[in-house]
A = this chain, B = another copy of it.
Amino acid sequence: MSATQQQTVVEFRRPAGAIAPAATPQQRWEARTQGAACALCHLHTLCLPEGMAAPERADFTRMIARHRKIAAGGALFRAGDTCEHFYFVKTGAIKTVMLMDDGREQITGFHLPGDMLGMDGIDAGAHTTDAIALDDTRVCALPAAPAARTQAGGAALQAYVQRKLAREVVREQRLLLLLGRMTAEERVAAFLRDLAGRYAERGQSPNEFTLPMAREDIGNYLGLTLETVSRCFSRLKHAGVLDVDNRHIRIRDAQRLLSGAGSYRQTSNGVVTH
């Protein structure tokens, strides 16, 4: 949703060099056995700290425990669990859910391959959300203690976590703006734009993708009901902005998706076209 992300989506450019070339099986096997797999992982441009010096990157890589698996619907962690690791999604997708006493829930984020999660546990030492797999999912785990504390892991790792946290703060600020000030259709449009941008970062097509979550999850995330989300999708479809086939989305008119996205609203003079 940032300016640069929007740019990416509008022009449907694939960011040059966003994703590393795939490693050969032989390379991968060697990397894994030598604890240097991160450098060869196709997600390393998203996970690995760029500014970090080589020896510290090696430390980082060595600390990572690879390949914890979570089945679709399973929990990576629950609210209240001691925060022992931060996680990177490797394959699949995860939602983080904040809970109320009376059972109401709010999804605070969807985490795609390359995304880091679990830092919400730094403050209290325990996670504040449930992390639920939307699909069969694999994650890498980074021990939280050295990353959060001043000893051991070193300052570079600490700075890395700090950056990730700051990014999370800004992401949530944008979400506050969405929930507080946008109409249903604007929210859905912003959601799709955001997803498109993130797929672009991952080297996948930003204008054609498959949603990893149900309508209910989208609605929950956007502060709407699943019916409202469905209706917004239908309206955008009939307006020619999108192709929607169940969870498969194709963006036909990125320009209109960007500009209020088929909401045909002009706030200043009240004119409503269509």
Contacts and interface: CB of A to CB of B under 8 A. Distances in A.
A116 to B, nearest CB: 12
A210 interface: no
A166 B165 contact: yes
Nearest to A265: B102
A104 interface: yes
A147 B267 CA distance: 41
Given A155-B155, A170-B128, A181-B104, A123 B176 contact: no
A176 B173 contact: no
Question: For the complex formed by this chain, how many copies does it contain in all?
Answer: 2
B166 A123 contact: yes
Nearest to A104: B181
Q: How large is the interface on A (under 10, 10 to 19, 20 to 34, 35 or more residues)?
A: 35 or more
A103 B167 contact: no
Interface stretch (A20-28, A156-164, A231-239): A156-164
Interface string A84-125: 000000000000001010111110100000000001111110
Given A102-B267, A159-B150, A180-B106, A169 B172 contact: yes
A137 interface: no
A177 interface: yes
Interface of A: 2, 98, 100, 102-106, 108, 119-124, 128-129, 148-151, 155-156, 158-159, 161-163, 165-170, 172-177, 179-181, 220-223, 267-268
22 contacts: A2-B124, A98-B176, A100-B177, A100-B181, A103-B267, A120-B166, A120-B170, A122-B166, A123-B163, A123-B166, A124-B170, A128-B170, A148-B162, A150-B158, A150-B159, A155-B158, A158-B162, A165-B165, A172-B172, A172-B176, A176-B179, A180-B221
